[in-house]
Structure 1
Amino acid sequence: MCGRFALTSTADQVGDALGVLLNEGFPARYNIAPTQPILIVMSGNKQLPGSNLPDRRVLLVRWGFLPEWVKDPKEFPLLINARAETAIGKASFRAAMRHRRILVPASGFYEWHRPSKESGEKAQAYWIRPRSGGVIAFAGLMETWSSANGSEVDTGAILTTAANGAIRSIHDRMPVVIKPEDFARWLDCKTQEPRQVLDLMKPVQEDFFEAVPVSDRVNKVANMGPELQEPVALDPVRTPPKKAEPDDGQLSFL
Structure 2
Amino acid sequence: MCGRIANTLPTDAMARLFAAAPANDLPPTPDYNICPTNPVHSVSVTGGQRRLSAMRWGFLPHWYASPTDGPLLINARAETIAQKPAFAAACRERRCLIPATGFYEWTKDTEGNRLPWFIRHTDDTPLAFAGIWQDWGQADDRLTTCAIVTCAANTPMSRIHHRMPVIVAPEDWPLWLGEAGHGAATLMRAAPDDALTFWRVDPRVNSNRASGPDLIEPFGD
TM class by shorter-chain length?
over 0.9
- Which residue of structure 1 lines up, in the alignment, with residue 2 of structure 2? 2
TM-superposed deviation, 1:190: 8.9
TM-superposed deviation, 1:69: 2.1
TM-superposed deviation, 1:134: 2.4
- Which residue of structure 1 lines up, in the alignment, with residue 168 of structure 2? 178
| Structural mapping, 1:147-166, within 5 Å | 147=138, 151-166=141-156
- Give the stretch that moved more between structures: 4-13 or 76-85: 4-13
TM-superposed deviation, 1:122: 2.5
| TM-score (structure 2 length as normaliser) | 0.92
- Which residue of structure 2 lines up, in the alignment, with residue 131 of structure 1? 122
- Which residue of structure 2 lines up, in the alignment, with residue 112 of structure 1? 106
Letter in 1 for 2:45: S
Provide Cα deviations, 1:43-66, integer angstroms capped at 9, x if missing partner.
1145xxxxxxxx301221111100
- Distance in 1 between residues matched to 2:12 and 2:186, nearest whole Å: 30
Please identify which structure carries the higher strand content. Answer: 2
Instruction: Determine if contact 1:7/1:105 at 8 Å carries over to the other structure.
Output: yes
Letter in 2 for 1:171: H
Q: Which has the larger radius of gyration?
A: 1
- Which residue of structure 1 lines up, in the alignment, with residue 37 of structure 2? 35
Structure 1: gaps of 5 or more residues: 47-54, 235-254
| TM-score (structure 1 length as normaliser) | 0.81
* Residue of structure 2 aligned with 1:210, choices 193, 197, 201: 197
TM-superposed deviation, 1:230: 1.2
Closer/same/farther in 2, CA of residues 12 and 22 from structure 1, 3 Å limit: same
- Which residue of structure 1 lines up, in the alignment, with residue 208 of structure 2? 221
Closer/same/farther in 2, CA of residues 168 and 56 from structure 1, 3 Å limit: same
Q: How many residues align?
A: 219
Any runs of at least 4 consecutive aligned residues in structure 1 with deviations exceeding 4 A, and if so which? none
- Which residue of structure 1 lines up, in the alignment, with residue 188 of structure 2? 201
1:16 aligns with 2:16: yes
- Give the stretch that moved more between structures: 175-184 or 3-12: 3-12
C-alpha RMSD of matched pairs (Å): 1.9
The percent identity for this pair of structures is 39
Structure 2: gaps of 5 or more residues: none
